[in-house]
Amino acid sequence: DHAYQVFLGDAALNKEISENVADLFNETGVRMLDFDGLEGAHSTGLGNYGEALFAQAWYDRLNKDLKSHFVLGASRSGHYFWHLYSRMNWGEPWYAGFRESQTEYRMLNQKYFKRNLMPGMLGWFKFTAGTTLEDIEWLMTRSAAYNAGFCLVMDLPAAEGNGMCHKLLETIRLWETARLKGQFSAEICARMKDLNTEFRLEKGADEQLYLTEIFSHKFKHAQKVRQPGEPLYSTFSVNSPVPQSPVELIVTANGADLNTLKWEINRSKQIRMNVVLKKGHTLKYTGGTEAVVYDAQWHVVETVPFPEGQILLPEGANTFLFDTRFGSADAGVEPFAQVEIRVLDVGRRL
């Protein structure tokens, strides 16, 4: 009678199960637990009281040291749990990426937590070998905006497999240190609650923290079939909020290799990159005179020259033309280049 099709007991058996869990804590020193699926305790026929009995049996069995400090959450937030729980951390990572899995639900929960004097928590997020720096920055922006923690599901293969693992964890540390010190103003937090905003936090040469808003424009350049001589490029419109805005570029090959990347900016500046971007690989340009090619797990494949150096956009509307040659694709696959143009605002000291 439970959606997970698990074994459910009566009140006496549930008490024994809960005490066995507590014995595991006493033996190992584990201090964190979530009573997920706690509604299964309704099998006792005692309703919410059955849930409370299950949790209380666990607590009563803990040794004195563990009772002094533990972290407890649950799938239910009944009134009785005010005596036991540390937080509620709702939001599951299994259905999509960082930005798509139960996102609206996670953010709505923050208002509920605040009204009920509960710590802010954004839920669970899954770290994989393909997790990107941009996704981590998106998560940390929301964490800072709501002054909310989160749980990161991460195993050793994912950590070892992600070529940017150290950089991603360092980024989390930097943001969390600033959040816990209360360095984000109310005005900045209000801006960061907009899910369409993106920010970067960096330590400057003066050892101070600088927050930069990034205006991300995402496009697809699809393989086209047209009459001979007709252009195959795609045209993208990008707005720059301030004069002389630096630009970052990210291109990912989907479904086929990409041979030579060509850009034209505002019908004047032309950039040609003589590089073969293998299927699943990504090229990132973040300034200077070089771009980096990564594989799908963010290991560096090669560094390639970026002929024109730093791109600076004038304020207002700007036009980007992009073109490339597609390699052969598998039958039934429609290859495309995923293109992201990131316009940087002026970094502001926290």
Q: How confident is the model at residue 229 (pLDDT cuts 50, 70, 90)?
A: low
pLDDT in tens, 90-111: 998 888 888 888 889 999 999 9
Signed CA dihedral, 260, 261, 265, 267: sign only: positive
Residue 36: what residue type?
Answer: D
pLDDT of residue 2: 61
For CATH 2.60.120, the residue range(s) in the chain are 215-345
| Mean per-residue pLDDT, 215-221 | 96
Signed CA dihedral, 33, 92, 129, 286: sign only: negative
pLDDT in tens, 255-292: 999 999 999 999 988 999 999 999 999 999 999 999 99
Phi, psi of 292 (to 5 degrees): -120, 135
Concatenated DSSP letters of 36-94: TTGGGGGGGS-THHHHHHHHHHHHHHS-HHHHHS-EEEES---GGGGGT-S------SS
Phi, psi of 177 (to 5 degrees): -60, -45
Q: How confident is the model at residue 339 (pLDDT cuts 50, 70, 90)?
A: very high
Q: How confident is the model at residue 86 (pLDDT cuts 50, 70, 90)?
A: very high
Closest CA to 348 of 216, 184, 194: 184
pLDDT of residue 1: 56
Closest CA to 344 of 234, 250, 240: 240
pLDDT of residue 254: 96
pLDDT in tens, 163-214: 999 999 999 999 999 999 999 999 999 999 999 999 999 999 899 999 999 9
Q: What percent of the chain has pLDDT over 70?
A: 98
Helix or strand or coil: residue 228? coil
Q: How confident is the model at residue 341 (pLDDT cuts 50, 70, 90)?
A: very high
Tell me the pLDDT of the chain averaged across its residues.
92
pLDDT of residue 80: 86
pLDDT of residue 17: 94
**215-345 CATH fold:** Jelly Rolls (2.60.120)
- The whole-model pTM stands at 0.90
Adjacent-strand bridge partners of 163: none
Name the residue with higher pLDDT: 332 or 139.
139
| Mean per-residue pLDDT, 331-340 | 92
Concatenated DSSP letters of 230-282: ----EEEEEEESSTTEEEEEEEEEESS-EEEEEEEETTTEEEEEEEEE-TT-E
Residue 231 has pLDDT above 80, yes or no: no
